[in-house]
């Protein structure tokens, strides 16, 4: 037994059940954030992905570019479809999350990120967001080849799920 297994000051990693009840852990060996893990406990991977990864909604992300400007700022441009209407949006910020938030706001889509968690899993990344729009709050997930891609996809899932 090592010093960590006998120390009682830490809560167990999976207080609401076994790791098997966490669909992300069962698939990738990494645990979901606490609130999401409790909501998703016992779901299959297919159920989890369709519930929390809403990529097929009225809001879709097409192209995305970033141009470094210096001093930590970048110019971002995106093609965002809302229903049948395609918009070109842009923002100059310190990062892609701030840029996407500004772009969505400019298009009348408000989303607030309350909690942000990301797992980099080698060739893919998964981002989990607890987000809010108005009085509605939900957990969402986005996956992608990079952390930025998974974060942007999670934000789109949040907009589609919340109907912002």
CATH number among 3.40.920.10, 3.30.390.50, 3.30.160.270, 3.10.50.40, domain 50-162 = 3.30.160.270
Q: Using one digit for the tens of pLDDT, what is the confidence trace for 134-164?
A: 999 999 999 999 999 999 999 999 999 998 6
Confidence of residue 12 (pLDDT cuts 50, 70, 90): very low
87 has a pLDDT exceeding 90 = yes
Confidence of residue 53 (pLDDT cuts 50, 70, 90): confident
Cβ neighbors of 61 (< 8 A, separation 6 or more) are 78, 79, 80, 152, 153, 156
Q: Which residue bears the tokens 């930025």?
A: 148
> Domain map of the chain by residue range?
50-162
- Give pTM, 2 decimals: 0.84
Least confident residue range of 1-10, 18-27, 39-48, 148-157:
1-10
Q: What is the pLDDT of residue 19?
A: 58
Rounded CA-CA distance 111/162 in Å is 9
């Amino acid at each position: 037994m090592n010093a960590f297994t006998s120390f009682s000051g830490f809560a167990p990693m999976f207080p609401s059940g076994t790791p098997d009840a966490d669909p992300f852990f069962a698939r990738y060996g990494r645990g979901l954030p606490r609130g999401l893990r409790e909501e998703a406990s016992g779901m299959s991977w297919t159920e989890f992905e369709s519930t929390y990864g809403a990529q097929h909604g009225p809001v879709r992300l097409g192209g995305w570019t970033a141009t470094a400007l210096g001093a930590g700022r970048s110019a971002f441009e995106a093609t965002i479809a809302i229903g049948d209407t395609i918009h070109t949006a842009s923002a100059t910020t310190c990062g892609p999350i701030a840029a996407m938030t500004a772009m969505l706001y400019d298009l009348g889509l408000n989303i607030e990120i309350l909690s942000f968690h990301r797992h980099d899993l080698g060739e893919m990344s998964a981002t989990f967001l607890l987000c809010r729009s108005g009085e509605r709050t939900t957990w969402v997930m986005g996956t992608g080849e990079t952390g930025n891609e998974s974060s942007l996809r999670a934000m789109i899932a949040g907009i589609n799920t919340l109907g912002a």
